[in-house]
Amino acid sequence: MFGLTDKILSYVAGAACLVLAIALFFTHGALNKAERRADKAEVALATEKTGRAEDRTKVSEASAKAMDALRSQQSQIATKYQGALNEARKQADFHRRDAAAARAESDGMREQTLFAARQLADAATPASAIREYAIAANELLDQCSRRYQSVAQAADGHSSDVKTLISAWPSVASMADLPTPKPE
């Protein structure tokens, strides 16, 4: 009986070993599969981290380029603005000098007309002198008239220049139309 029991026990032990071997085989396969999934997840995570770092690098480079473009635009605008201010100062000085010269000329003409009025009022002035003076006064008035016309033309030119500068000067609306750098 001991022989049969030993045989049964050895069969049972063999079957148990076989079951255990099969369970071990499937467990080992499942563990390998889980390890492969974990490795894939680690690779995906590393790739994602690398991608994020590259994205951050690209974004910071694009931001730096945009800031450089903005600084360049601001520098151009500041240079243009300073040039316009300097030119306006020169023009203001020129106009002040012209106005002073015109005042001096006007004062001189006023003195001359007062003198002429006194001379004409004097009965002793000969008629030929009065005629010569009238001719000279007419010529002077013609010159004044031509000068005032040229001053008016210059004023029109200045007005046109001002309008051109105003329309050419950058404004907030025209700044919105400027190209902006795109991230690469």
Torsion of CA 136, 142, 144, 148, to 10 degrees: 180
Q: What is the pLDDT of residue 118?
A: 72
Instruction: Give the global pTM.
Output: 0.41
59 alpha-carbon distance from chain centroid = 21
pLDDT value of residue 168: 67
Report whether 182 contacts 63 (CB < 8 A).
no
Q: How far is CA 184 from the centre of its chain?
A: 21
pLDDT tens-place string over residues 30-72: 888 888 888 888 888 888 878 788 888 888 888 888 888 888 8
> 169: which residues sit within 8 A by CB, 6+ positions away?
80, 81, 84
* Best-predicted range by mean pLDDT (46-50, 90-94, 103-107, 122-126): 46-50
Give 180's pLDDT tier (boundaries 50, 70, 90): low
